[in-house]
Structure 1
Amino acid sequence: MRALLVVNPAATTTSARTRDVLAHALASDLKLEVAQTAYRGHARDLARQAADGGEIELVVALGGDGTVNEVVNGLLHNGPDPDRLPKLAVVPGGSTNVFARALGLPNDAVEATGAVLDALRDRTSRTIGLGLVSGTPGTEDAGVPSRWFTFCAGFGFDAGVVGRVEQQREHGRKSTHALYIRQMVRQFLAEPNHRKGGGITLERPDADPVRELILAIVCNTSPWTYLGNRPVYASPQASFDTGLDLLALSRLSTPAMARYATQLLFSTPERGPHGKHATALHDLTDFTLHSQAPLPFQVDGDHLGLRTSATFTGVRRALRVIV
């Protein structure tokens, strides 16, 4: 099998020596080409070339969730076609690796490489659903390019936290779970409208709008994220085999923040955050989030700036993954 290994040399949990060892291990079973990313969006460009070229059968992403997201968007730049497009394999190299772990892969890069090689030898794979977010027709964001996401997107508060973390990383801070928690507290203290309902409205076909939301977390799988080795379930029913799930909150006063943060921390595969200010929806295919003012927006932990609207589509059987 001819394969392309896309390596993020800035991956936070693998050294150059480790990445060389992993590439050598993969090359023992594959006709392997190796490409290192050199700029933001490079992994997307490499995967797009692989999809268009017609010779690569497998693209392996070695990096964090951001690298994986870029590879997925490159593979699917002309839309999903799991029977024709190269398959995807993932070797985790980031700080959290939500997508790889949601697939059942070990969080250790060496062990995950072994699992991928075992799956290749056994010819095992699965076809997963993905989320697609697009600009909303008739709004100022109508022309924003569509973006695929593998495990989550966020509009409002959580995206603001992601943006703050990215700013810290640009100043040389390492991406750690402690950094995320500090920035979450700072975002909460700085958020001007966290005490009462916010300006986000949820619209979906054949349903009344849900208004005055402060944040919206869209999940394509569960768990939503990890704190170290602890999984956090914002939408416990979310799955690669269904549409999208949504958790939205309409209040983030200090007591509400403490309550929902505790519910998230102790969430389980059976129960996530709940209460009168929480809206939890499962297996959505199409919906739109509107905001009265521009709000932070993120997909798969990548901050994409400010948006006033976003239209979401859950696409079943979008991509074949080696696992």
Structure 2
Amino acid sequence: MRALLVVNPAATTTSARTRDVLIHALASEMKLDAVSTEYRGHARDLGRRAAESADIDLVVALGGDGTVNEVVNGLLHHGPDPDGLPLLAVVPGGSTNVFARALGLPNDAVEATGAILDALAARRERTVGLGLASGTPGTEDEGVPARWFTFCAGFGFDAGVIGRVEQQRERGRRSTHALYLRQAARAFLGEPNRRSGMITLERPGADPVRDLVLSIVCNTAPWTYLGNRPVYAAPEASFDTALDVLSLSRLSTAAMARYATQLLTSTPERGPRGRHAVSLHDLTDFTLHSKVPLPFQMDGDHLGLRTSVTFTGVRRALRVIV
């Protein structure tokens, strides 16, 4: 087997020495080409070249969820090939690693590499579904390129929090869970539409759901992690189904406290609920519209402001080593 290893040298939880050890371990079992990313979007470019090459059987992503997202978008640049879905392995190297952990991989990079080598020896893999977000025809976002996501997307409040965190990281702050919580509190205090939302969710064959403050689109559960604590925004979400949505129509102080508590205590059986919570399961096609431009994020990457995003759940998009 010939593999391409895409390495993010800025991965927050792996040192250069650890990365060398992982490279040697992988190279002992396969023909391996290792390339370190040098710019934003480089992992996507490498994934695309691998997908277009007849010589690469497997792409291994060593980094966080952002690196994985770029690699996946490169691999699927031309869309899923039903006759031969691309093959991916993930070695977690970021601060959260939601996708890798949702696949059942250890959060430690060395242990995850061992698990991947065991899976390769046993020829163990699975097919997963992914989400695709694109600009909505007939809107000002019509020309926005389509982009795949592995575990979540967000429109509104949660995307605004991620945008704030990225601004802090650009100023030299480390990405920690405490940083996310502080920025969430500040975003809440500055949210102008927390009592009457701007978002409308439209889907075929159903009435629109209006006046939403935020919408979290999940492709798997958990939605994220706080340290080792999994957080379930949509407990039924799965790589084997289409997309799930949790939307909130109110973020008053009382509502925020209630839903934050429900998220922190959520389980695989029970997520947020209440008269201001809207939960939808296994959606293949739907659109989120906003009366004003709102923050948008995918797999924890802030993508700026949008007024409309169309989502598609693709049940068979990628093969992964597990």
**Aligned partners of 2:19 and 2:132: how far apart in 1?**
31
> How far apart, CA to CA, are the structure 1 residues paired with 2:131 and 2:207?
23
Query: Counterparts in 2 of 1:138-287, with a 5 A limit?
Result: 138-194=138-194, 196-287=195-286
**Match for residue 105 of structure 2?**
105
Offset of 1:270 from its aligned partner?
0.3
Residue equivalent to 1:119: 119
> Offset of 1:46 from its aligned partner?
0.4
Q: Deviations over 1:98-155 (max 9, x none)?
A: 0000000000000000000000000000000000001000000000000000000000
Counterparts of 1:261 and 1:160, CA distance in 2 = 16
CA deviations on 1:17-72 (whole Å, 9 max, x unpaired) are 00010000000001000000000000000010010112100000000000000000
Instruction: Report Cα offsets for 1:289-313 as digits up to 9, x if no partner.
Output: 0000000000000000000000000
Q: Secondary structure at the match of 1:248?
A: strand
Q: Distance in 1 between matches of 2:77 and 2:289?
A: 25
1:83 Cα deviation after fit: 4.2
Structure 1 segments of 4+ aligned residues over 3 angstroms from their partners: none
Q: How far, CA to CA, are the matches of 1:47 and 1:59 in structure 2? A: 7
Tell me how far 1:82 sits from its aligned partner: 5.6
Q: Deviations over 1:257-284 (max 9, x none)?
A: 0000000000000010000000000000
On the 8 A contact 1:82/1:319 being kept in 2, the answer is no
Is 1:68 the counterpart of 2:72 in the alignment?
no
SS at match of 2:120: helix
Is the CA contact (8 Å cut-off) linking 1:127 and 1:320 kept in structure 2?
yes
The alpha-carbon deviation at position 243 of structure 1 amounts to 0.5
For residues 35 and 259 of structure 2, what CA distance do their matches in structure 1 show? Answer: 42
TM-superposed deviation, 1:164? 0.4
1:294 is matched by which residue type in structure 2?
P
| Counterpart-to-counterpart distance in 2, 1:109 and 1:176 | 18
Deviations 1:232-261 (A, max 9, x none): 000000000001000000000000000000
**2:297–2:304 CA contact under 8 A, matched in 1:** yes
C-alpha contact (below 8 Å) 1:82/1:127 kept by paired residues: no
2:302 aligns to what? 303
Q: Which whole-Å CA distance do the structure 1 matches of 2:201 and 2:250 have between them?
A: 15
Kept in 2: contact 1:75–1:85 (CA 8 A): no
Residue correspondence of structure 1 range 3-18 to structure 2 within 5 A: 3-18=3-18
Whichever residue aligns with residue 244 of structure 2, its letter is D
Q: Tell me the percent identity.
A: 82
Measure the CA separation in 2 of the matches of 1:86 and 1:283.
24
TM-score by length of 1: 0.99
Helix, strand or coil for the counterpart of 1:62? strand
So what's the TM-score if we normalise by structure 2?
Answer: 0.99
SS class of match (2:26): helix
**Which amino acid in the other structure matches residue 246 of structure 1?**
V
Structure 1 partner of 2:290:
291
Task: Tell me what 1:39 maps to.
Answer: 39
CA distance in 1 between partners of 2:184 and 2:85 (Å)? 38
CA separation in 2, counterparts of 1:89 and 1:62? 9
- Give 1:81 shift: 1.8
1:106 match: secondary structure: coil
- Rounded to whole Å, the distance in 2 between the matches of 1:197 and 1:287 is 21
Is the Cα–Cα contact under 8 Å of residues 204 and 285 in structure 2 kept in the other structure?
yes
What is the one-letter code of the residue matched to 1:154? G
- Say if 2:85 and 2:317, in contact at 8 Å, map to a contact too: no
* 2-structure distance, mates of 1:101, 1:236: 15
> Tell me, which stretches of 5 or more residues in structure 1 are unaligned?
none
Other structure's SS at 2:311 match: strand
Local SS of the residue matching 2:316: strand
Letter of the structure 1 residue corresponding to residue 27 of structure 2: A
Query: Considering only aligned residues, what root-mean-square deviation do their CA atoms show, in Å?
Result: 0.7
The 2-side partners of 1:145 and 1:54 are apart by 26
The SS at the match of 1:281 is strand
Residue 85 of structure 1 deviates from its aligned partner by 4.5
